Structure 1
């Protein structure tokens, strides 16, 4: 072996070692809570807090956003895939406890997290390259924001989708005012007010996911995705279609058709009070269950959410996010968010003391003020 070959071999080993080190640094620089990898021409994001069901915090947001912007400009990145670590959740929501503590202490996290999360949601909604969210497991709140605005959302039989915010004195944010009123009939309003949980195939059937794939095929699907050469959106769609198992018409009609019918009949109303009246008059098992559910929710959140869905139907995603930032800050100034988190997540007595405690106690003026401009503090996209 000549000295030149020895030198070339050394340089190759050094280059490979450098690539491994760079890859490791790329994967760990977010404090391991979110991992980034380049696999072929695909950028892969892994939410890496499995013990916390991959709940999204500000540190993760501050790493995901610049990485997405970087990959969007990188000519060697053709596709982005986002997934959750572990076998239980894609992302079960935001770091609610941290926001609660910050709000009580007057910390700026209550502004920063919502602002930066919504900016990230908008980035995903306007992303130019194929963006594939593998929502294999629990997908709620902040996890919905990381997936729903992307072009492709792949559900599995383990997917559990919900926007349960009215139960903790919030509202279905992260662009909920945009995608929920665009679902069929009154389904979006129903999901927003009640926090109803959709599972598995139904998530795709109602249009929240674009595809349904069995969870044991997700690893194979991801491999085939990263093997695509310079894929267009249509290339990705064609691959996802090849993995998708078709569901029978009878199945689709029995549950989803009935749900849509019930939602349209009972939730077509001009106010939350009218919806409650519809439910009581109906008297069916479904109606009684929803009456019971809504009675547990924050009256202020219910009225905020009803108005949010009404307004959002006519807005762009960007306009909705500006509106929702105003609502988030109104909730941070109020009582019900802190009380809801106490009752549901901290003390777990499931008995929140809402203020006001009734729908009639929530004035139109109070709701109107929540939608008011924040002036210089408004969200800017």
Structure 2
């Protein structure tokens, strides 16, 4: 019954997702073409401004209220030695984020965004954090199963994870103008690479990186683990929920749900790096219109990330050789989103400023 209710809830959410509004995009283009500068001189910032107008249905969008949502989950595949760090680092880093000492905290403070940590499926119960500000428990289970030996989770649990993300987007949308995705979970580059392999069709060896610092022999072993997972589970690339259930993670499902929910509420989402883009691909496979609400923050060092971005047909805002996760890239990219809004709303047109236009 829970899974039927969740599936019905998800379908209702999908019915609320529409493409960007073309009329507002046209109005933004008309204004931007008249700004006191050579034609489209601010390049990608102007394209971003057009997208924001289409998402928010206005040429004066307000994005002052920003939130990075860090989804947390543990992974049974760490039994296969796919990470340089022990699983309990997930717990330790969650405490570090709540205490304000992680990279995401510093980056978010600089960007003027708050940080929310959501336990989607960590092994730890986080008993001491239950009443802490900025911490929310939506735990589906205590970590996924080992995908090298079978499915990560049941289909019901996959739907529940997505629903939890949607519910958070619905809850936050009254207080948040701009969402950012983040992740925390030791071993999560492995399921993310598996998702990338299924949904891009690229060979695992071409997609797999060194994660948290694997050497070349360890990376070869990781490739073999992912190939075993795909062989054992045979996820259906046309069914995003099946892919999530077979080789994904609870935090990846939460990210997918957050994106779907944000799109249903007509809010843009700044997608962080490799793990977050795996969640975005799941959301895109479920409902392609979510693409109109995605702002891809950066290109990760993980080699599979560029193929994931190609699948989404989206360009990242920047490339600074980042590979941390947590939402750090999304937080930094929020500065660019701010700049695009200011470009659209604060720069004068030629007529407003009394500046002569280009001679014909």
Fold in common (TM above 0.5) = no
Determine which structure has the larger helix proportion and give its number: 1
TM-score of the superposition, structure 2-length normalised?
Answer: 0.29
Q: Report which of the two structures shows the higher radius of gyration computed on alpha carbons.
A: 1
